[in-house]
Homo-oligomer: A and B are copies of this chain.
Amino acid sequence: MAKQKPRTLSGFMELLPAPQAQFERMVELMRQSYALYGFTPLDTPVIEASEVLLAKAGGETEKQIYRFNKGDSDLSLRFDLTVPLAKYVALHYAELSFPFRRFQIGKVYRGERAQRGRFREFYQADIDVIGDGKLDIVNEAEIPAIIYQTFTSLGLRRFQVHVNNRKVLSGFYAMLGLTEKSGDIMRVVDKLPKIGAEKVRELLTGDGLALSGEQADEILKFISITGSNNTVLSALKEYCGRHELFDQGLDELSAVVKYLGTFGVPEENFAVDLTIARGLDYYTGTVYETFMLDHPEIGSICSGGRYDNLAEYYTDKQLPGVGISIGLTRLFYVLQEQGYLNGALLTAPADVLVLPMTDDLSPAIALATALRGAGIRAQLYTEQKKFKQKMSYADKLGVPYILLLGEDEITQGKASLKDMRTGEQELLSAAEIIERIRLALAGSAAQAPIREPEN
């Protein structure tokens, strides 16, 4: 028979079992972190009607959409989890309670040019809090805590949540009489870490924006305000009283900073950063980006912000919200590339491999059944292979324990438990085996999927 060459499309991540287990562990911990803060899991379709999904989209995004016809229907694959959330909230508005807090971890699709580390199918892990008409500032103050909890639970330590407020920025530009240009200016300023201050000044005073040198200097002075949270807030207070929007933004920023410690975020994992704006006009208040301290070149690994109108394309209801998103597939790829995955994490499909050495398999099956009843992941290995091959199989899977059951063991009502890491072997009863494995696994269950390389 002619064979079809098996292949996986480029830009689509497909992992081998061990890294897949690490990926799953990351997803599990993210779900747990999000749930701790009272977010409910949602799952929306991957396919939506194009007219619904693309009500807002345009430009670059639209070109990347996977869009096609099936019968009479014009369909598209979701390209993020925000538009489906907007649709969901508008559609089910009457049945939801607000503030509505949901998380969704799911695949999204963008037909980007294939290149290393760029994915066309990738997971996003989003949380959003949606208010009905209003939404309290405390929701914005809580977000850095959720980011902190999430990455910490994954095992990441050296990262920092950067926070700014769009009202502070807009108010500042209004003071300079640059309100109409502020969107374009922010997009330029957003490039500061990549292109540097000089180049930013060039772009600001260049033909496009045509700011005066004075205006450009004011802007560069403003965005160069750095230091501890209190230093930055004090410097910003100097601008107070000149524009209402600025004052409001500074109040919000101060509230976010004020509750940080109470929310459990250490000061070193947080920074007020006047250079971040998030490109999108969508955001109206607090904005967030998160950086790995040792790999700023990767860019933000968790971003988001406050918006005033989630679902304006679907409903007249005013639905303000705040949300963040983690590009999980890319993050995993980067962690793998940078050697951040914890090689000691248990990724074997089973905690113990049961190897019967007799023709009658009943004692081995009974033992496996007892182990499973006690919550221990047990795999029976009954293939007709040489002992050496069986051991090599156990090695490759990375199972921490094997259990040998020969005539001797069966006669004594016991089994030989071999610790694959130490090589030690002991003759134990089923109850002893369960106790032993449970104890060992309780330790490994606490292991994080990320382990930062030591410097």
Contact = CB atoms under 8 A, between A and B. Distances in A.
A69 B139 CA distance: 43
Contacts of A445: none
Given A3-B314, A52-B4, A349-B101, A136 B45 contact: no
4 residue pairs, one from A and one from B, having the closest CB atoms: A38-B379, A68-B68, A40-B349, A38-B350
Nearest to A93: B6
Interface stretch (A10-18, A181-189, A211-219): A10-18
* Number of copies of this kind of chain in the complex: 2
A44 to B, nearest CB: 6
Contact of A134 (B5, B136, B373, B384): B384
A75 B3 contact: no
Contacts of A353: 38
A88 interface: yes
A382 B138 contact: yes
Interface stretch (A19-27, A194-202, A416-424, A435-443): A19-27
A262 interface: yes
A3 B52 CA distance: 10
Interface in A374-391: 375-384
21 contacts: A5-B52, A6-B90, A6-B314, A7-B91, A14-B45, A17-B102, A20-B40, A20-B41, A20-B43, A38-B380, A47-B109, A68-B68, A68-B69, A97-B393, A138-B365, A138-B382, A142-B380, A149-B372, A262-B365, A262-B369, A263-B369
Given A20-B43, A107-B46, A372-B149, A377 B36 contact: yes
Interface residues of A, number: 102
B8 A48 contact: yes
A349 B383 contact: no
